[in-house]
């Protein structure tokens, strides 16, 4: 497999989705517009919520983006795992009442195996518990044997972030090999360690959560996919972590130079180097979207 760079992968995805009839849109700001449920944009779908609910008419019923995102829910893992970062770019293809599970699943497989060239034998789909429609598409149409399709519950395979459009999902994991495994008995797809890395998430957005756990069925069936560009680059470039992919590695090396530290000499230093690298990315993109840092508590609260 060719070791594509981050910038190549981003373009490959957007071009592929454009060839499937999607309108390529620019990343939206990290600052949510008209959405009080979020402090920062945390997923490709977040700025598009009104199109999923039908409240606004999208410029096209098929849209694709590479969205700047910040997620802090897993902040304690940043620097310690291969895959966590507070800032990341999310590649996404979206259907607003247009195509649904069949096309979304087929295209995710086509992109990963035919366009990027990932080894199909190292890819494992997961589905929501009783989503037999998704199971049949993976099994009967794509040809994945039943024992390679994992069924997970709400915690893993139902996508929602607070209030808004949500639904069951079908993820695709890539087996990076034993050397990244935890070695614990039962380490398999879904394990918290860095061996099976989730690269793609197909969300079947059919419901709206009112923020209090009450779900209503949306007027239209939608698709919201999310693929972390940095994670995809990790598996494509066959490197240890997101801090080793081409673009982020350049920044990490600069951090080492300024701090007079050598990477991979000492675990505690490495965690700090990764944390600083990650936080520089987040801070830079937030500042570029007009979010100014302050050490004055009063200023912080007046901004909220």
| Cα 275 from chain centre | 19
Inter-residue contact 91 to 8 (CB < 8 Å) = no
Residue nearest to ligand GLY (CB): 226
Q: How far is the CB of 164 from ligand GLY (least distance, A)?
A: 10
The nearer residue to ligand GLY, 38 or 203, going by C-beta atoms, is 203
Q: Tell me how far apart the alpha carbons of residues 170 and 149 are, in angstroms, rounded to a whole number.
A: 10
Q: How far is the CB of 203 from ligand GLY (least distance, A)?
A: 5
Instruction: Using CB under 6 A, pick the residue from 159, 196, 243, 285 that binds ligand GLY.
Output: 159
Q: How far is the CB of 200 from ligand GLY (least distance, A)?
A: 8
Q: How far is the CB of 226 from ligand GLY (least distance, A)?
A: 3
Q: Can you say whether the dihedral through the CA atoms of 82, 84, 88, 90 is positive or negative?
A: positive
Contact status: 255 vs ligand GLY (CB under 6 A) = no
The nearer residue to ligand GLY, 29 or 272, going by C-beta atoms, is 29
Half-sphere exposure of 99 (CA within 13 A, CB side): 19
Contact status: 226 vs ligand GLY (CB under 6 A) = yes
Give the E-state strand segments of the chain in sequence order: 23-24, 62-70, 87-96, 123-128, 150-152, 158-159, 164-175, 196-209, 215-228
The nearer residue to ligand GLY, 84 or 252, going by C-beta atoms, is 84
Q: Tell me how far apart the alpha carbons of residues 242 and 191 are, in angstroms, rounded to a whole number.
A: 18
Contact status: 105 vs ligand GLY (CB under 6 A) = no
Which residues contact ligand GLY (rule: CB under 6 A)?
A: 43, 45, 159, 201, 203, 224, 226
């Amino acid at each position: 497999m060719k070791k594509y760079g981050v910038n190549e992968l981003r373009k490959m995805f957007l071009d592929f989705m454009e060839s499937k009839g999607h309108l390529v849109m620019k990343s939206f700001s990290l600052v949510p517009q008209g959405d009080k449920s979020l402090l920062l944009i945390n997923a490709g779908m977040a700025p598009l919520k009104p199109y999923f609910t039908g409240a606004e008419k999208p410029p096209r019923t098929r849209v694709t983006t590479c969205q700047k995102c910040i997620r802090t829910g897993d902040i304690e893992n940043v620097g310690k795992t291969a895959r966590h970062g507070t800032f990341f770019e999310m590649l996404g293809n979206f259907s607003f009442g247009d195509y649904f599970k069949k096309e979304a699943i087929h295209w995710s497989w086509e992109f990963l195996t035919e366009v990027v060239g990932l080894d199909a034998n190292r890819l494992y789909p997961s589905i929501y518990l009783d989503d037999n429609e998704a199971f049949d598409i993976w099994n009967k149409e794509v040809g994945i044997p039943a024992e390679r399709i994992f069924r997970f519950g709400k915690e893993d395979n139902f996508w929602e972030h607070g209030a808004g459009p949500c639904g069951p999902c079908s993820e695709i994991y890539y087996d990076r090999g034993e050397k990244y495994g935890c070695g614990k008995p039962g380490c398999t797809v879904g394990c918290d360690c860095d061996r099976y890395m989730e690269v793609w998430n197909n969300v079947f957005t059919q419901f709206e959560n009112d923020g209090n756990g009450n779900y209503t069925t949306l007027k239209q069936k939608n698709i919201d996919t999310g693929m972390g560009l940095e994670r995809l680059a990790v598996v494509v470039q066959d490197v240890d972590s997101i801090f080793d992919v081409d673009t982020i590695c350049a920044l990490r090396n600069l951090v080492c130079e300024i701090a007079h530290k050598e990477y991979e000499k000492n675990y505690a230093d490495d965690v700090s180097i990764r944390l600083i690298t990650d936080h520089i990315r987040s801070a830079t993109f937030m500042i570029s979207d007009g979010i100014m840092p302050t050490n004055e508590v009063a200023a912080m609260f007046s901004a909220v």
